[in-house]
Homo-oligomer: A and B are copies of this chain.
Amino acid sequence: MYSMDESCTVYKTIDFISKKWSLLILLEIYKSSEGKKRYSEIKNNLIDITPKVLSARLKELEKEGLITKNIDASSFPVKSEYELTKIGIDFISIIKDIKNWALRWKINNKVCERLDCKNCDL
């Protein structure tokens, strides 16, 4: 029986990846060439995300160990960079599987023309 035992790793994992925007944020960071992405880059690419939600998700993903945050305070303005950890990189294959499942079964499949959805190596 699946109770809501909050100490259950599997349940907690399903719960946090089910939060809106979490998976798309991971994808955004993954798709950067250097493996890093700035706050504003993520925000500009996920055009409908609000700054509050983005901040919250980045903190959750950092806490869960999927990303790390690096602050470059050498120049001004200060820049924040987010990077996938080994754990986060390992999770990308799951997102790839979700994409492949969708393209395998869904009718009238379509990937966004103006995204790199089609061209990215997922």
Q: Are A97 and B99 in contact (CB under 8 A)?
A: no
Query: Quick check: A99 and B10 within 8 Å, CB to CB?
Result: yes
Other-chain contact of A23, B14, B19, B91 (Cβ < 8 Å)? B14
Q: A112 touching B13 by the CB < 8 A rule?
A: no
Q: How large is the interface on A (under 10, 10 to 19, 20 to 34, 35 or more residues)?
A: 35 or more
Contacts of A10 in B (CB 8 A): 98-99, 102-103, 111, 117, 122
Q: How many copies does the complex hold?
A: 2
Are A24 and B14 in contact (CB-based, < 8 A)? yes
Tell whether A75 is near chain B: CB-to-CB under 8 Å: no
Contact: B8 with A117, CB < 8 Å? yes
- Closest residue of chain B to A31, judged by CB? B2
Is A65 an interface residue when CB atoms closer than 8 A count as contact?
A: yes
Question: In the bound complex, what is the Cα–Cα distance between A93 and B42 (angstroms)?
Answer: 29
Ranked 3 nearest A-B pairs via Cβ: A13-B102, A5-B112, A8-B112
